[in-house]
Amino acid sequence: MTASSIEQQAVATIAGLSMDAPHAARSGHQGTAMALAPLAHVLYTRIMDFDPATPDWPDRDRFVLSPGHASILQYSLLHLCGFGLTLDDIKDFRQWRSATPGHPEVGHTAGVEITTGPLGQGFATSVGMAMAEARQRAHLGTDVVDHFTYTICSDGDLAEGVSHEAASFAGHLGLGRLICIYDDNRVSIDGMTDIWLSDDPVARFTAYGWHVVNLGEIGNDLDALEEAILAAKEVTDKPSMLVLQTHIGTPSPTLTDSPSAHGYAFQDDEIAAAKTELGLDPTQTFQVSDEVLDWYREAGSRGAHKAADWAAANPNPDAMLTGEPTGDWKAALPTWEPGANVATRKSSNAVLNAIAPMWPSLVSGGADLTGNTGVQLNDGDQVTADNLGGNQVYYGVREHAMAAVMNGMALHGGALPVGGTFLVFSDYCRPSVRLAALSKLRVVYSFTHDSVGVGEDGPTHQPIEHVAALRSIPDLSVIRPADANESAGAWLAALETDGPTALVLSRQDLPVLDTTSADAVANGGYVLSDPPDAVITLMGSGSEVQLCVEAARRLADQGKPARVVSMPSMNLFQSQDDTYRAVTLKRDLPSLAIEAGVSQGWYRYADEVVGINRFGASAPGATVMHELGMNVNNLVDQALDLLQ
């Protein structure tokens, strides 16, 4: 069998699996995977460096399938190239606990670099991967870091707003080792894209500062695809966008270029007809000949020597690669004396700057709010197109992209991304925050200006429902510290957590309280005061804990002693054992919670809640807090009512 004929059979095998697996599941997306089979074949066998035996080799090329609905395409290549997926795994596509879920999930399937599916996210996240690679290469040199990020994106990816932000940012930084191939198949679920899209992708990405090539209809020409990608690799000062016009569902006699081919359209008759065109046996399913499998396994093993040579040359990888600290960063955590007054965004910044020298992997930045949100590094080295090794990023007004880029840096490895914006704008970050939680990525968000205490900017900038909304995301640690020392504890918990953390921080100064504890923050909730004759428990988070402390003093003067519980993190508290939670809450006493936001979520722990279940108002911050019930007098009154 000639090289040409075996590769034709190999591409046909991918297309066949791309039809058979969704058909067996009665669910999935076939047409895109069929059309992209030649491109994926070229990337995995002619272009990318990887080693299936060591899929986490740090200097491997990264592959991002942004249209994650075409996951069967990637699974087929991972099986064929020897990443450990079996043919039975392919047959188990989209089934309970299978290794081949409906969309690729990082950490679930070897060889999958990123969880994709929400359109635009994969494209934007790949920018962060390229940034992390560039930073490591700048510090460690090309002998240690010398890889590329390859991304396939779709019409839907580039229609989503996050792609505009990320593309603009990537062009601004000149990320030359980011190569995107745009599958311009002109098809969407609603019909042909011309009913809603008339963009000129070449002009658009050229304006962003990308190197753009319109490849035309070379989707089935393996040599031309290889030549185009290799040429893009030579462009080192700009990211590359290769616009490839494909035909969804090809080579089906009836469904090529059909919008229905986007989903589960190929059933028995359509599959048989397409397999006949591909030269496959139309009566057989999940066909992988020994010749094709042997050919792919040999192709997949070609990177093994590179991975082995790299490992031999780097027996003790630099902290810039491992992402680990280089010193006793915990000992560097600052402390504050009771009686001081400091906003938690400022104390958080003090912590960040204290530990940054011991975390070479730390990269901090803000969405045009760098100083305001406590993510400014005192000795920060600005990331620019001429200095990609820096650690201070100015994302500009791009919250969507910032959060996705942070995910990309974390996914790449060797980066500890920190990003800041106002809490009210966490809505813009939410899709990426959710994916960070789903992917268990260690990223730190500094969400500041955390309440109606923002003041004069008014209800558009005063978060009400945002803390509750963040708390609703599984596996996201949301920490709202009560004072400066709890801010230090929040960082301690964040950097010892496998997953993302949202720090929710105040704009206004808060008093440092007598009994707060940095170490106790990791418990999520803990007792600040517990008089033996207490008749009620007061609890809160953030700026309202001080109100609980003062209200307890006043209640004690009235002969009604009160316990005080600080609850900086509900999710961390919920992870404690039943005994700890019971001792902390002491549910045999009535309990009252207070927080400057919606009361949702607090009723799990308290009998009554003093919250803000309306939008805010424009006035000085202290005035708004007082008028909306965030004051000691109201808390005391509510406690007395509850006791009655």
Residues 617, 458 contacting (CB under 8 angstroms)? yes
Q: Is 465 one of the annotated active-site residues of the chain?
A: no
From residue 69, give the alpha-carbon distance in Å to each of 42, 186, 201, 429, 631: 20, 16, 22, 22, 51
Is the omega angle on the peptide bond into residue 251 within 30 degrees of 0, that is, cis?
A: yes
List helix spans (H) across 456-577: 466-471, 484-494, 545-557, 570-574
Q: How crowded is the C-beta side of 420, counted as CA atoms within 13 Å? A: 30
Tokens of 562: 């009160």
Contact in structure between 73 and 63 (CB atoms under 8 Å) = no
| Sheet containing 591-594: order of strands | 526-529, 562-566, 536-540, 591-594, 608-610
Compute the half-sphere exposure of residue 511: CA atoms within 13 Å on the CB side of its CA: 12
Catalytic residue among 7, 133, 399, 486: 399
Radius of gyration of the chain (CA): 27
- E-strand ranges in 24-177 read 62-65, 149-154
Name the maximum alpha-carbon separation found in the chain. Answer: 94
β-strand pairing of 178-183 with 240-244: parallel
Q: What is the DSSP letter of 384?
A: B
Q: Which residue type is seen at 529? A: S
HSE, side-chain direction, 13 A CA sphere, residue 59: 22
**How are beta strands 536-540 and 510-511 bridged, if at all?**
unpaired
CA gap 119, 156 in Å, rounded: 6
Distance separating alpha carbons of residues 382 and 189, to the nearest angstrom? 43
251: number of Cβ within 10 Å: 19
The CB density around residue 523, as the number of other CB atoms within 10 Å, is 21
Q: What is the DSSP string of 137-173?
A: HHHH-TTT----EEEEEEHHHHHSHHHHHHHHHHHHH
Residue 394 phi/psi, 5-degree rounding, is -105, 100
Active site residues: 399
